[in-house]
Amino acid sequence: DYKPSPRLSVFVSTLTGKFTIVMSQKLADLGYFGVRPAWRNEAGQLLPGTGERFRSEVGGFVNVRYSDKIFENISLRSRLDLFSNYLRNPQNVDVNWENLIDFKVNKFISASLFCHLVYDDDIMINVDRDGDGKIDGKGPRLQVKETLGIGFSYKFE
């Protein structure tokens, strides 16, 4: 774990295991989260219970953490995880990036803004390739989650 400053930490592992466990057989049968989907019969129908619920990967891993007080009332925490599967498409790096900005508005009000970006080449998402409004394929896509939180506090004395 390399720490060039109190605010920054970098961890590099040349050999790491990454495991995905899908608890729902229904989701596993559909091939969610990058696991192998259920087999299909001659008519093209899914055979329930035949989808894999576990996926393992071996590769390199980098973790970067940054934390700083930007202003007196604003702080930032960021975590970036990068993973490259050595056995399948090592050039396609999985990205997991979380950013949290905390705001202290005043004595009573605080706010937080959270942004989470995920890209995994093995996770297929429904896409509209020709822009006609209909799903016509699957492919890897950037997943974005944003959350805004507002907090109120009062101290009783």
CA distance 96 to 16: 15
User: How confident is residue 25, by pLDDT bands cut at 50, 70 and 90?
Assistant: very high
In a domain, 80, yes or no: yes
- Distance, in Å, from the CA atom of 52 to the CA atom of 27, rounded to the nearest integer, reads 10
Domains in the chain: how many in total? 1
Residue 92 located in a structural domain: yes
What pLDDT sits at residue 83? 98
Q: Summarize pLDDT for 84-136 with one digit per residue, the tens.
A: 999 999 999 999 999 999 999 998 999 999 999 999 988 888 888 888 988 88
Within a domain: 107: yes
In a domain, 116, yes or no: yes
**4-18 tens-digit pLDDT:** 999 999 999 999 999
Let me know: does 117 contact 144? Beta carbons within 8 Å: yes
Write the burial class of residue 143 (CB in 10 Å: 0-12 exposed, 13-18 middle, 19+ buried): middle
pLDDT at 56: 92
Which domain covers residue 128, as residue numbers?
A: 2-152
Name the maximum alpha-carbon separation found in the chain.
Answer: 73
Highest mean pLDDT among 1-5, 16-20, 41-45, 75-79: 75-79
Q: What is the pLDDT of residue 21?
A: 93
- In a domain? residue 135: yes
**Separation CA 27–CA 99 (nearest Å):** 28
* Nearest C-alpha neighbor of 150 from the set 102, 82, 85, 99: 102
Would you say 107 and 92 are in contact if contact means Cβ atoms under 8 Å apart? no
**Domain-embedded: residue 139:** yes
pTM: predicted TM-score of the whole model, two decimal places: 0.82
Domain-located, residue 157: no
